[in-house]
Amino acid sequence: MKRTITHLADGRELIYFDRRDDADRSAIDRRTLEPRPVASELRYDPLTEEWIAMAGHRQTRTFLPTGGTAECPLCPSSDTRSTEVPAYDYDVAVFENRFPSFSTNFGAYEEPGGLSEVRPGVGRCEVVCFTSDHSSSFSKLSDSQVELVMEAWADRTAELSGIDGVEQVFCFENRGEEIGITIAHPHGQIYAYPYVTPRTKLQLAAARRHPRGNLFADVLAAERAAGTRVVAANELWTAFVPAAARWPFEVHLYPHRQVPDLAALTEEERAAFAPLYTSVLRAFDGLFDMVMPYIAAWHQAPVRAGRELGYLRMELFSIRRAANKLKYLAGSESAMGAFVNDVLPEEAARMLRSQIDH
């Protein structure tokens, strides 16, 4: 794997990940770009003890370009058009988001008053282009391409964890307009947060209270023993629907070995993940014979606090509950955080297994 670092016209970093050592990455960004925006401001909510990022500059980000590859900012550049990726072709490309929620480009921040307080939204946001093929999807990637994406995720996790002030690194993919994507090209994102996220805090607190061993390892062992919700497995990974799934179709993928983050996986574990994960993604699409909207979220241990308790895992879920129905986060979920699931987890697992068996 070849890793090449270059920069875009406004100074943002761009990293190419290539299979070939002779890949030429000398192309330059020919655009004239506006100066980079200053970092968002974080405001503290004293009622939930959470930090909320205020990033008004994100209102101007690219929104559902209609011209396909002719307008896509993530496709390779050409002789007549420059994009976020100056090369005319690429394997995997990662670059700093032009409209980041977190960055190290600080501005001036005024206290908002009330019981809140403010601080800079230090961190970094990156875009990960999984392939140069605009018409592809993660489920269509070859095993070797998935492994290259995982190399990129691992590289960026290690690099971003070293930024002063970063407490957690989150790799994820949003897919489908129903989820809220603004660009259709196959891509994901990475957020380097200046705090440990609320959900991770809750899970680590539960892990600390667990009476024996590691909570996440015990969940995996119990699901493997029960079997009824296991969707697919190999010697190094298991994919299952959790017993208390919140979403209509939700699958968690655990490595059989406890590791804190993507950078700690072995080559064998990365290779074993690829075919298992893409088979689950294809099962999602096969459920209703249509493109399934989903969120794919890597849960990694925080950089410092509670790291010894962490257990790397992928959580994949969709808001589609039937061919013509979506699950909306309405009153109970949005206002109270109290989920109601319309699909029994055991039935969801059975439906997904039937697609994988095909």
Query: What distance in Å separates the CA atoms of residue 159 and residue 182, rounded to the nearest whole number?
Result: 27
Query: What distance in Å separates the CA atoms of residue 140 and residue 136, rounded to the nearest whole number?
Result: 6
For residues 277-298, one letter each, b for 16 or more C-beta atoms within 10 angstroms of the residue's C-beta and e for the rest, the string is bbbbbbbbbbbbeeebbbbbbb
Q: How far is CA 213 from CA 252, 264, 357, in A?
A: 20, 20, 34
Query: What distance in Å separates the CA atoms of residue 348 and residue 327, rounded to the nearest whole number?
Result: 14
In the 8-state DSSP scheme, what is residue 98?
A: S
Q: Which two three-digit tokens encode residue 36?
A: 């980079």
Would you say 77 and 25 are in contact if contact means Cβ atoms under 8 Å apart? no
> Residue 187 catalytic?
yes
Residue with tokens 């995997």: 92
Would you say 150 and 267 are in contact if contact means Cβ atoms under 8 Å apart? no
In the 8-state DSSP scheme, what is residue 149?
A: H
Options 185, 187, 252, 299, the catalytic residue: 187
118 Cβ contact list (under 8 Å, min separation 6): 41, 42, 43, 44, 109, 110, 111, 112
Residues labelled as active-site residues = 187
